[in-house]
Amino acid sequence: MDKRGVVIIGSGLIARFHAQAVNASDKLELKGFCDLFSLESAKKAAAEFGGAAWGDYKDAFSAEGVNMATVATASCAHDEAVFAAAEHGVPVLVEKPLAITTARIDAMIAACRKSGVPLGCIFQTRWDEAFVDAKRRIDAGELGRITYAGIRVPWWREDDYYTKSSWHGTWAGDGGGSLINQAIHLVDWLVALMPPVREVKAFAAALAHPVETEDTVSAALRFEGGALGGVYATTAAFPGRGKTMEVAGTKGTIAFSDEATGTSRPDQLPFTGHQKCFEAFADSLEGGTPYPIPGEEARKSVALIEEIYKSAGLGRTENF
Ligand SMILES: NC(=O)c1ccc[n+]([C@@H]2O[C@H](COP(=O)([O-])OP(=O)(O)OC[C@H]3O[C@@H](n4cnc5c(N)ncnc54)[C@H](O)[C@@H]3O)[C@@H](O)[C@H]2O)c1
């Protein structure tokens, strides 16, 4: 099988992990970086990791050998990259959240469907053993009747995480704060493991950081079928603790806790999860197992997040 030629859209922090994941894979080949915001930054990334640098989607998507894209731009700019990929017929895998609103996601799904371009979302923790094991046990009915499912992401970020970024913690750039940016991986686990959420009662506030969005969310959930649940997401819990998930039932309980004890800094992530994610997408393009997080699946976490923000009275969706 020929290697898939990958263009990385964006050249910031997570794009570097994308590049390492691509370079470590024998199924993928890095063709270069495209950054509409900063060609200089794309050039630096290309010099470090390989490939060319482009400041224009057209040049990047039509470059020789490019037949897969990963999107690693600020969350607000995911949709425009996907529209361009769809226009050029390039299968596209996008960082979480797929986009900052479900309205944008719907437009992305429609554009990809129209041009027959596969669209997937990067939730690299779906390949974690803890998730795979939880899904197997829940699907097999090992927990009996599920009575509760909750997640907690009690993290800390310094103020400069927000003040030095043009988009973190803004409605227009990030689509929210601790919930949509940091806690979304576990929100994704919840929506993948549980039936749909039917009711939400939530509070959200900016308690510790200079953000226009929230830095702390507390939500109570009721799932279809009656199970109750909870979401706690924050970047205001110094010094930060590991994230946890609990799913309890009449015959068993799953209690997940990761080992992160500090601030869970994004620059200290391993790239191996991304590699598994990218290879699963590439395999699906060769006719292998369908990629488990297509656009429709990735929409679910953003839809729940929208409901939580709405219940908390943030009126977020009206800002776009
Ligand atoms: N999967 C994960 O665990 C994980 C971890 C961190 C970040 N992310 C996601 O990756 C994406 C990028 O995050 P990052 O930390 O690399 O961000 P970053 O600020 O370091 O980089 C953003 C990149 O997007 C480009 N860009 C394009 N349009 C932009 C715009 N309108 N505003 C600002 N920048 C723009 C910038 O030039 C830069 O290359 C986000 O969607 C984020 O949610 C995922």
The alpha carbon of 155 and the centre of ligand 1 are apart by a number of angstroms equal to 19
**Quick check: CB of 14 below 6 Å from ligand 1?**
yes
Alpha carbon nearest to ligand 1 atom 23, residue: 73
Q: Which of 1, 248, 22, 241 is nearest to 147 (CA)?
A: 248
The alpha carbon of 74 and the centre of ligand 1 are apart by a number of angstroms equal to 4
**Quick check: CB of 11 below 6 Å from ligand 1?**
yes
pLDDT for res 314? 85
The alpha carbon of 139 and the centre of ligand 1 are apart by a number of angstroms equal to 34
Residues forming a β-bridge with 70:
8, 93
**Quick check: CB of 263 below 6 Å from ligand 1?**
no
Alpha carbon nearest to ligand 1 atom 15, residue: 13
Instruction: Give the Cα separation of 276 and 54 in Å (integer).
Output: 26
The alpha carbon of 265 and the centre of ligand 1 are apart by a number of angstroms equal to 14
Token couple for 283:
């395999």
Residues forming a β-bridge with 41:
none
DSSP state of 178: I
Task: Please give the chain's pLDDT, 320 residues, in tens.
Answer: 789 999 999 999 999 999 999 999 999 999 999 999 999 999 999 999 999 999 999 999 999 999 999 999 999 999 999 999 999 999 999 999 999 999 999 999 999 999 999 999 999 999 999 999 999 999 999 999 999 999 999 999 999 999 999 999 999 999 999 999 999 999 999 999 999 999 999 999 999 999 999 999 999 999 999 999 999 999 999 999 999 999 999 999 999 998 765 556 667 778 999 999 999 999 999 999 999 999 999 999 999 999 999 999 986 544 44
**Quick check: CB of 77 below 6 Å from ligand 1?**
yes
The alpha carbon of 10 and the centre of ligand 1 are apart by a number of angstroms equal to 7
Please list, in sequence order, all residues whose beta carbon lies within 8 angstroms of the beta carbon of residue 145, skipping any fewer than 6 positions away: 227, 249, 250, 251
The alpha carbon of 245 and the centre of ligand 1 are apart by a number of angstroms equal to 26
**Quick check: CB of 210 below 6 Å from ligand 1?**
no
- Out of 33, 56, 75, 95, mutate this one to test ligand 1's pocket (max ligand atoms within 8 Å of CB): namely 95
**Quick check: CB of 124 below 6 Å from ligand 1?**
yes
The domain ranges of the chain are 4-125+269-293, 128-266+301-319
pLDDT for res 267? 72
pLDDT for res 318? 44
Atom of ligand 1 nearest to the CA of 36: 27
CA distances from 261 to 177, 209, 224, 270, 311 (A): 21, 21, 33, 16, 31
Under 8 Å between Cβ of 190 and 256: no
Token couple for 161:
């995480």
Which pairing describes strands 52-54 and 253-257: parallel, antiparallel, or unpaired? unpaired
Atom of ligand 1 nearest to the CA of 168: 19
Considering the domain delimited by 4-125+269-293, tell me its CATH architecture.
3-Layer(aba) Sandwich (3.40)
Instruction: Give the Cα separation of 76 and 171 in Å (integer).
Output: 9
Distance of CA 72 to the CA centre of its chain: 10
Considering the domain delimited by 128-266+301-319, tell me its CATH architecture.
2-Layer Sandwich (3.30)
Atom of ligand 1 nearest to the CA of 123: 1
Kindly tell me the sign of the dihedral angle through the C-alpha atoms of 174, 54, 31, 80. positive
